[in-house]
């Protein structure tokens, strides 16, 4: 069957690396963690880091927002990354002779290395610092991104075979021409953006004034930086916020963050901002510094109040000073974190052209600089870049270098359009399910050290969160060859999705499909299937569990019992364990509404002596209507068994709650089946 | 569409008792639309038969397939090759389909797996109602769009019997009296007087009926 | 011999000659303008002739003609034509009831040709109950014709001496044709129009469903008169005494097209006896006799034939005019 998807889930489209968020979230919901992780890793070499500090464009785009809140995609990625699976990456289809030089071992450089190696190239990474990681190591503080997590990501990349040469500054220790001479056929400049911008106000040279990145770098690299009691941090971005929170952890009593505009305009992450507020950072808004006081050391900061005027080029309202609003803050340390720009002087001496903004000039698609064999990406080309943007650049540049080296034209990837938002009447049909809250260290203890603040989802929470995903653009499809236009799907869908358009001859299922599977089971023509590659409606799983039936002894009879249960259900783990303890074959499906009567019959055909459906009525079912449909099919199948003269008890429906009762009825059931003897008298 | 209902399993097994090679054939037409004889139902019945055979200790091979429509010779032809492997075929199509199979495969025992009950419409999901008996002389144009032949328990032609009460038919309180409907609609259409005309007895002539559409018949292109 | 009733309004005298279709006693009395009394006789569920005779004896002399039901409520009974023959032999005039339920147009014509040959002159043409209600619910309902078509067919036989197919008859039956009507069925506004249809088709007398709701019947008769139908056909109102409150309630609930007013039920509930039932019935008859355009009553005392004599007597309808032939 040829399935054409018109439009893609917005989470996937919004992501700069088109991470298949929906797919891994769906797999996670089915507890298939390993496969989910591999999907993440196939496009993202920094799962553990991204799962913590990503700017989450996917969540901004998530369609679940119109129902309640976006799916916590990022934290789900983190959950997967923290499971420590070994990446299972495809071997390069071919080994090429060329070696590529990568300058800078930040996420852009490392991602490019990852992709180039998987494409079949060798590469050497040159890094000025002693350790790889770039800003993730020397910028982002450990309480947000622990070193172990970063190291895990980096080690996984390096273990693919990239050569890392630290302590070498390209441009200073070795020139671009040297690299060419040494035989590198292409160079990727991923040098980041490390030169702090200055305030250009009097007193900036006083001791006690330090740039945000320098401050953070010293904390990481142990440069002996200290803070006193009162700290003023200037800026509104991630660096400013991190510097402020780090200052608190370094022992500062009173930390103020001074920002020109209001809270809404702050470019930093909202989650981080909230956490900072909790920790006691003071936000001094609509304020700009005018002068730093002090003799041998900073003692005060003169500030002016601002008001917001017309929007500027960035679309944000321009701050205008309020005359006569000056005031002075008593501070001991001033951290300036108003942005940074790439260090390009050396490179421009090497012939690389620089843009007006001070970034390396590139072609937006091929990522190549004005020198054909030199490419650039990451923060070096984007002011205020992000981790995922850097990864995207790394991935894209790798492809472009491959094309360049193979003499192929670079294929501009076709952009898939995101599917439309859910229509308001449909939103009404979808169940509200609150977003899971991230467990965190208590405020009192977290400001004492650099331990990670966000603790990560435990498994049950992760699964619960994952099943909130609406599986956008990946629901059911109709095979027009088989569809008889019977309207069954149109009539049974709890979400009013399938339609036979006016004048149409076959049913169509739009991207709003919730993947509940009701129509798939009800379609008499077998014309509907779930696009979702991970959904087998219990059929294949049944085959695989039944394959394991041991040969039946003639003297000793142990009944073969198959249990179908919802893997979405919060009790599923305990239940499934209990079932297995009882020697029951377990088939997990994502909602029992996906069980076909023929699958239940198939179980008997495969020599089951009894079948039990574990149907939760706990109210935390993702598909509320699913339960009703499942029950109907259960009754329908029961009638079949009756006509066969099979004992009614061989098909059971048990509720997993209350647990005590479930265990009791389960053992009663098993006893009963034992007494009934086998369905087939094997001779 | 044609509406059918499944035959009892007992009846089916009674008829296939002595066979070893059985096929269950669904039809992609009306019986699919009514979830009675589509691919799914064919699979279910086949599965059931295999279970039954296994329990009986019988060695029976049951296969299933679904024809696009069993009432068309070309589609029936499509199972030619496989038909040799079958001794008995259970058709889930309407009576028409069953007979098409029986005619095409004289050596195979062809059995109906469903009882064809009527031609009807979907009133609401899961509720179908007879609307036409194919009487060969449609009069609904003169009866307000309601057929008294199919929908009046007595097929009355000249108005309601004495059992029509409160709009309900005397045979069953959940069946509307079609003559009440006819009367109301005709009055509404301003055609009430037509009901005062005595309608002569209906022509119930020759069955089976046959219809020929000359312009669709085969053209012999041999010289 | 019918007993003389001093209060009787009619005397058995020969009246001026009238135009007769079939020449039956029943027809003549109606056409002479007499208030006619008929009663119903249900043949046995078996071949026992004596049952028919016994029931007929109970009626003889008290009514002007006796309707023989045609497997009423779709329960198999001795055929109405055969039973009618027994009555003829006893000197009682039968009204043969004929339904469309069990015979197609061929059988209907064949049986009725025979009936005429046997000397039966009155036929009541009915559609018939659905077999579902009877003792053979699986029987194939025929309904090849409906009652109106049956009337028209018999009228054509009489007037054009042709069968339905157009084949000339070797001797045409010339029945006095009647139809039934239920004034209490729906759609009520259409009932009188349907009656008109029956009359156009050939009905000269009409026997109605049992009347308990006299007011509604009066209303219906008004419409009948407005349409002048009472001048085109003789209308006999159906009456039947109720045996008990239980029976009244049962009929109200289960007999299609039967209306039993609550007043009657509560009267019977107060004084639950057959006598009270008869009293109620007499009251109804009394009221019916006031209605302009009504030609008689038709007593339907199913399986209670012995009550007929009592009723007729108490209603002051005795003696019945002597039959010319009897
Ligand atoms: C404090 C802070 C917090 C941040 N928080 C977030 C966040 O929450 N979410 C997010 O998505 N992004 C965040 N970012 C941004 C993110 O870290 C960067 O966008 C990302 O690291 C850019 O990757 P890159 O590889 O382009 O550059 P970098 O990470 O800067 O790496 C460049 C590397 O090149 C090396 N290098 C530079 N010049 C040379 C040379 N000439 N020769 C050899 N090596 C050289 C550098 O030493 C460095 O290791 C944050 C940044 C900072 C500073
Ligand atoms: S609901 Fe799921 S698939 Fe849809 S946008 Fe959100 S995460 Fe993506
Ligand atoms: S249920 Fe299946 S056959 Fe029926 S309209 Fe939908 S897709 Fe088509
Ligand atoms: S899978 Fe569920 S949500 Fe999707 S179209 Fe079918 S019934 Fe509707
Ligand atoms: S009640 Fe109406 S529909 Fe029923 S048999 Fe009588 S006329 Fe026909």
pLDDT at res. A3: 42
How deeply is A265 buried, as exposed, middle or buried, from its count of CB atoms within 10 A (0-12, 13-18, 19+)? Answer: middle
- Average pLDDT of span B105-118: 95
- Give the pLDDT band (50/70/90) at residue A554: very low
| Number of CB atoms found within 10 A of residue C221's CB | 24
- Give the pLDDT band (50/70/90) at residue A360: very high
A349 found inside a domain: yes
pLDDT at res. A4: 47
Q: Are residues A512 and A611 in the same domain?
A: no
CB A485 less than 6 A from any atom of ligand 3: yes
C269, pLDDT greater than 60: yes
Q: What is the mean pLDDT of chain C?
A: 90
Residue A527 CB contacts under 8 Å (≥ 6 apart), including other chains: A478, A479, A480, A481, A482, A483, A484, A506, A507
- Average pLDDT of span C82-110: 97
User: In chain A, what percentage of residues exceed pLDDT 70?
Assistant: 97
Neighbouring chains to A with at least 3 Cβ pairs closer than 8 Å: B
| Domain made up of B2-117: CATH architecture | 3-Layer(aba) Sandwich (3.40)
Do the interacting molecules here have an ipTM over 0.85? Answer: no
DSSP type of residue A265: G
Residues of A in contact with B50 (CB under 8 A): 605
pLDDT at res. A1: 35
Inter-chain residue contact B32 with A644, CB threshold 8 Å = no
Inter-chain residue contact A484 with B57, CB threshold 8 Å = no
Residues pairing with B30 in the sheet: none
Helix (H) or strand (E) holding A562: strand A561-566
Give the start-to-end residue ranges of the domains of chain B.
2-117, 134-196
Tokens of A602: 């198939």
Measuring CA to CA, which residue among C45, C114, C109 is closest to residue C75?
C45
C221, pLDDT greater than 90: yes
- Give the pLDDT band (50/70/90) at residue B42: very high
Buried b (16+ CB within 10 A) or exposed e, B1-39: bbbbebbebeebbebbeebeebbbbbbbbbbbbbbbbbb
Which protein residue's CA is at the shortest distance from atom 5 of ligand 5? B153
Q: Pairing mode, if any, of strands A585-589 and A651-654? A: unpaired
A425 found inside a domain: no
- Average pLDDT of span A583-587: 92
- Average pLDDT of span A260-281: 88
Of A406, A422, A449, the domain-final residue: A406
* CA-based nearest distance B33→chain A, Å: 4
CB B154 less than 6 A from any atom of ligand 5: yes
Could you read off the pLDDT of C223-257 as tens digits, one per residue?
999 999 999 999 999 999 999 898 899 888 887 77
CB B153 less than 6 A from any atom of ligand 5: yes
For tokens 């693919």, what's the residue?
A: A160
Distance CA A113, CA A102 (A): 7
**Lowest-confidence range among A57-66, A566-575, C4-13?**
C4-13
Q: Tell me the best of B157, B167, B178, B195 to mutate to test the pocket of ligand 5, counting ligand atoms within 8 Å of each CB and taking the most.
A: B178
pTM: 0.80
For tokens 């730093």, what's the residue?
A: A292
- Average pLDDT of span A653-659: 87
* CATH number for position A595: 3.40.50
3-state secondary structure of C307: helix
3-state secondary structure of A456: coil
Ligand 2 site, CB within 6 A? A 9-11, 21-22, 25, 62-64, 71, 73, 469-472
Nearest CA in chain B to C164: B201
pLDDT at res. B49: 96
| Domain made up of C25-314: CATH architecture | Alpha-Beta Barrel (3.20)
| Number of CB atoms found within 10 A of residue C119's CB | 14
Residues of B in contact with C180 (CB under 8 A): 162
CA of B38 to the centre of ligand 3 (A): 11
Residues of B in contact with C147 (CB under 8 A): 158
pLDDT at res. C7: 35
- Give the pLDDT band (50/70/90) at residue C163: very high
| Number of CB atoms found within 10 A of residue A536's CB | 18
Buried b (16+ CB within 10 A) or exposed e, A340-362: bbbbbebbeebebebeeeebbeb
Distance CA A334, CA A141 (A): 18
Distance CA A387, CA A371 (A): 26
* CATH number for position A61: 1.10.1060.10
Residue A612 CB contacts under 8 Å (≥ 6 apart), including other chains: A561, A562, A563, A564, A584, A651, A652, A653, A654, A666, A669
User: Higher model confidence: residue A578 or residue A571?
Assistant: A578
Q: Are residues A46 and A114 in the same domain?
A: no
Q: H/E/C letters for each residue in A320-364?
A: EECCCCCEEEECCEEEECCCEECCCHHHHHCCCCECCCCCECCCC
Inter-chain residue contact B32 with A492, CB threshold 8 Å = no
Interface mutation vs chain B, best among A525, A527, A599, A680, most B CBs within 10 Å = A525
C324, pLDDT greater than 80: no
Q: Tell me the best of A11, A24, A418, A475 to mutate to test the pocket of ligand 2, counting ligand atoms within 8 Å of each CB and taking the most.
A: A11
Q: Which atom of ligand 1 is nearest to the CA of A126?
A: 43
Distance CA A271, CA A589 (A): 35
Inter-chain residue contact A486 with B35, CB threshold 8 Å = yes
Q: What is the mean pLDDT of chain B?
A: 92
Torsion of CA C25, C29, C30, C32, to 10 degrees: 130
pLDDT at res. C13: 45
CB A235 less than 6 A from any atom of ligand 1: no
- Average pLDDT of span A537-565: 76
Q: Are residues A551 and A649 in the same domain?
A: yes
- Give the pLDDT band (50/70/90) at residue A557: low
* CATH number for position A234: 3.50.50.60
- Average pLDDT of span C16-30: 87
Whether B113 and chain A come into contact, CB under 8 Å, resolves to: no
Could you read off the pLDDT of C272-317 as tens digits, one per residue?
788 899 999 999 999 999 999 999 999 999 789 899 999 999 999 9
| Number of CB atoms found within 10 A of residue C226's CB | 10
Could you read off the pLDDT of A39-49 as tens digits, one per residue?
999 999 999 99
A5 found inside a domain: no
Its sign, for the CA torsion A576, A580, A583, A588, is: positive
Tally of structural domains, chain A: 5
C76, pLDDT greater than 90: yes
Residues of C in contact with B167 (CB under 8 A): 186
B near C: at least 3 beta-carbon pairs less than 8 Å apart: yes
Could you read off the pLDDT of B160-188 as tens digits, one per residue?
998 888 899 988 888 999 999 999 999 99
Q: Are residues A201 and A335 in the same domain?
A: yes
- Average pLDDT of span C145-173: 96
Q: What is the mean pLDDT of chain A?
A: 91
- Average pLDDT of span C135-146: 94
Q: Are residues A174 and A204 in the same domain?
A: no
Interface mutation vs chain A, best among B40, B69, B113, most A CBs within 10 Å = B40
Could you read off the pLDDT of C80-94 as tens digits, one per residue?
999 999 999 999 999
Q: Are residues A189 and A203 in the same domain?
A: no
Residue A81 lies in domain: 10-87+431-466
The closest CB to that of C186, out of B155, B167, B171, belongs to B167
Which protein residue's CA is at the shortest distance from atom 1 of ligand 1? A239
- Average pLDDT of span B139-164: 93
Q: Are residues A172 and A205 in the same domain?
A: no
Tell me the C-alpha to C-alpha distance, in Å, between residue C124 and each of A680, C39, C87. Answer: 67, 13, 16
3-state secondary structure of A51: helix
Which protein residue's CA is at the shortest distance from atom 5 of ligand 3? A485
A205, pLDDT greater than 50: yes
Distance CA A365, CA A409 (A): 11
- Give the pLDDT band (50/70/90) at residue A618: low
Q: Are residues A190 and A201 in the same domain?
A: no
C4, pLDDT greater than 50: no
Q: Which atom of ligand 5 is nearest to the CA of B170?
A: 1
């Amino acid at each position: 069957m040829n399935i054409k998807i018109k439009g893609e889930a917005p989470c996937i489209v919004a992501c700069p690396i088109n991470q298949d968020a929906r797919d891994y979230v769906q797999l996670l919901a089915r507890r298939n963690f390993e496969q989910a992780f591999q999907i993440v890793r196939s496009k993202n070499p920094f799962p553990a880091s991204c799962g913590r500090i990503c700017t989450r464009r996917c969540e901004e785009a998530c369609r679940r927002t119109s129902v309640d809140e976006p799916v916590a995609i990022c934290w789900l990625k983190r959950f997967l990354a923290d499971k420590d699976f070994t990446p299972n990456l495809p071997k390069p289809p071919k080994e090429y002779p060329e070696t590529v030089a990568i300058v800078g071992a930040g996420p852009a450089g490392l991602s490019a290395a990852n992709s180039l190696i998987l494409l079949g190239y060798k590469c050497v990474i040159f890094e000025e610092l002693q350790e790889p990681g770039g800003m993730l190591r020397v910028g982002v503080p450990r309480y947000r991104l622990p070193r172990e997590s970063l190291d895990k990501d980096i080690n996984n990349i390096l273990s693919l075979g990239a050569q890392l040469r630290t302590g070498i500054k390209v441009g200073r220790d070795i020139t671009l021409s040297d690299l060419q001479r040494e035989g590198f056929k292409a160079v990727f400049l991923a040098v980041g953006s490390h030169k702090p911008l200055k305030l250009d106000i009097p007193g900036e040279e006083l001791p006690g004034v330090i740039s945000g990145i320098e401050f953070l770098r010293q904390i990481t690299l142990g440069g002996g930086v200290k803070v006193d009691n009162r700290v003023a941090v200037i800026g509104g971005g991630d660096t400013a916020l991190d510097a402020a929170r780090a200052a608190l952890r370094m022992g500062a009593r009173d930390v103020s963050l001074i920002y020109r505009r209001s809270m809404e305009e702050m470019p930093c992450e909202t989650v981080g901002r909230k956490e900072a507020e909790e920790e006691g950072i003071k936000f001094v808004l609509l304020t700009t510094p005018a002068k730093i006081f002090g003799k041998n050391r900073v003692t005060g900061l003169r500030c002016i109040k601002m008001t917001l005027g017309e929007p500027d080029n960035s679309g944000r309202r321009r701050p205008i000073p309020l005359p006569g609003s000056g005031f002075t803050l008593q501070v001991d340390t001033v951290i300036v974190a108003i942005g940074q720009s790439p260090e390009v002087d050396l490179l421009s001496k090497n012939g690389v052209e620089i843009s007006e903004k001070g970034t390396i000039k590139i072609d937006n698609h091929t990522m190549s600089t004005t020198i054909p064999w030199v490419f650039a990406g990451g923060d070096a080309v984007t002011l205020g870049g992000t981790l995922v943007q850097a990864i995207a650049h790394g991935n894209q540049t790798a492809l472009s270098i491959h094309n360049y080296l193979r003499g192929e034209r670079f294929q501009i990837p076709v952009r898939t359009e995101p599917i439309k938002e859910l229509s308001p009447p449909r939103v009404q049909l979808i169940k509200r399910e609150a977003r899971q809250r991230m467990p965190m260290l208590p405020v009192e203890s977290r400001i004492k050290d650099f331990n990670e603040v966000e603790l990560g989802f435990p498994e049950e929470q992760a699964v619960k969160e994952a099943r909130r995903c609406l599986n956008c653009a990946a629901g059911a499809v109709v095979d027009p060859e088989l569809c008889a236009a019977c309207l069954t799907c149109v009539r049974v869908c709890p979400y009013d999705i399938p339609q036979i358009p006016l004048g149409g001859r076959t049913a169509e299922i739009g991207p709003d499909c919730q993947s509940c599977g009701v129509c798939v089971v009800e379609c008499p023509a077998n014309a509907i299937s779930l696009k979702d590659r991970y959904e087998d409606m219990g059929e294949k799983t049944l085959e695989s569990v039944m394959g394991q039936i041991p040969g039946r002894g003639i003297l000793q009879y142990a009944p073969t019992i198959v249990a179908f249960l919802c893997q979405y259900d919060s009790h599923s783990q305990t239940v499934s364990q209990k079932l297995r303890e009882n020697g029951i074959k377990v088939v997990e499906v994502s909602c029992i509404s996906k069980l076909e009567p023929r699958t239940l019959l198939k179980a008997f055909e495969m020599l089951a002596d009894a079948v039990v459906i574990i149907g939760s009525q706990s109210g935390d079912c993702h598909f509320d209507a699913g339960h009703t449909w499942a029950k109907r099919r259960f009754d329908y199948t029961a009638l079949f068994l009756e006509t066969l003269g099979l004992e009614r008890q061989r098909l059971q429906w048990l509720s997993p709650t209350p647990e005590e009762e479930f265990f009791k009825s389960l053992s009663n059931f098993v006893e009963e089946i034992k007494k009934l003897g086998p369905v087939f008298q094997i001779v | 569409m044609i509406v059918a209902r499944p035959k009892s399993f007992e009846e089916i097994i009674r008829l296939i008792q002595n066979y070893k090679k059985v096929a269950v054939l669904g039809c992609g037409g009306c019986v699919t639309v009514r979830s009675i004889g589509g691919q799914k139902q064919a699979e279910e019945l086949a599965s059931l038969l295999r279970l039954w055979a296994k329990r009986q200790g019988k060695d029976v091979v049951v296969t299933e397939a679904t024809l696009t429509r069993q009432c068309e010779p070309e589609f029936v032809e499509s199972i030619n090759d496989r038909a040799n492997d079958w001794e008995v075929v259970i058709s889930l199509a309407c009576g028409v389909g069953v007979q098409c199979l029986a005619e095409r495969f004289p050596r195979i025992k062809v059995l109906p797996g469903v009882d064809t009950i009527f031609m009807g419409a979907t009133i609401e999901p899961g509720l179908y109602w007879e609307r036409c008996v194919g009487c060969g002389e449609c009069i609904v144009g003169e009866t307000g769009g309601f057929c008294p032949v199919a929908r009046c328990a007595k097929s009355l032609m000249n108005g309601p019997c004495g059992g029509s009460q409160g709009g309900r038919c005397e045979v069953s309180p959940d069946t509307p009296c079609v003559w009440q409907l006819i009367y109301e609609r005709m009055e509404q259409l301003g055609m009430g007087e037509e009901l005062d005309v005595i309608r002569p007895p209906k022509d119930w002539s020759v069955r089976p009926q046959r219809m020929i559409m000359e312009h669709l018949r085969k053209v012999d292109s041999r010289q | 011999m019918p007993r003389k009733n001093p209060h009787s309004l009619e005397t058995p005298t020969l009246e001026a000659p009238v135009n007769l279709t079939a020449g039956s006693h029943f027809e003549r009395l109606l056409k002479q303008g007499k208030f006619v009394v008929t009663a119903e006789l249900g043949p046995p569920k078996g071949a026992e002739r004596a049952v028919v005779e016994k029931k007929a004896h109970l009626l003889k002399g008290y009514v002007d003609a006796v309707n023989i039901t045609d497997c009423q409520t779709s329960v198999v009974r001795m055929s109405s034509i055969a039973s009618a023959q027994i009555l003829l032999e006893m000197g009682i005039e039968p009204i043969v009831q004929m339904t469309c339920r069990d015979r197609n147009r061929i059988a209907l014509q064949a049986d009725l040709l025979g009936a005429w040959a046997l000397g039966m002159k009155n036929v009541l043409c009915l559609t018939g109950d659905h077999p579902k209600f009877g003792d053979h619910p699986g029987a194939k309902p025929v309904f090849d014709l409906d009652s109106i078509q049956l009337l028209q067919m018999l009228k054509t036989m009489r007037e054009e001496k042709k069968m339905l197919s157009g084949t000339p008859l070797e001797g045409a039956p010339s029945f006095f044709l009647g139809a039934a009507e239920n004034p209490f069925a729906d759609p009520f506004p259409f009932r009188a129009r349907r009656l008109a249809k029956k009359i156009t088709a050939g009905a000269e007398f009409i026997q109605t469903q049992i009347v308990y709701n006299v007011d509604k019947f009066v209303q219906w008769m008004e419409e009948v008169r407005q349409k002048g139908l009472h001048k085109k056909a003789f209308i006999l109102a159906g009456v039947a005494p109720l045996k008990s409150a239980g029976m009244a309630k049962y009929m109200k609930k289960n007999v299609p097209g039967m209306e039993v007013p609550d007043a009657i039920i509560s009267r019977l509930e107060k004084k639950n006896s057959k006598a009270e039932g008869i009293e109620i019935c007499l009251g109804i008859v009394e009221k019916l006799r006031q209605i302009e355009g009504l030609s008689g009553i038709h007593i339907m005392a199913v399986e209670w034939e012995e009550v007929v004599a009592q009723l007729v007597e108490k209603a002051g309808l005795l003696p019945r005019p002597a039959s010319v032939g009897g």
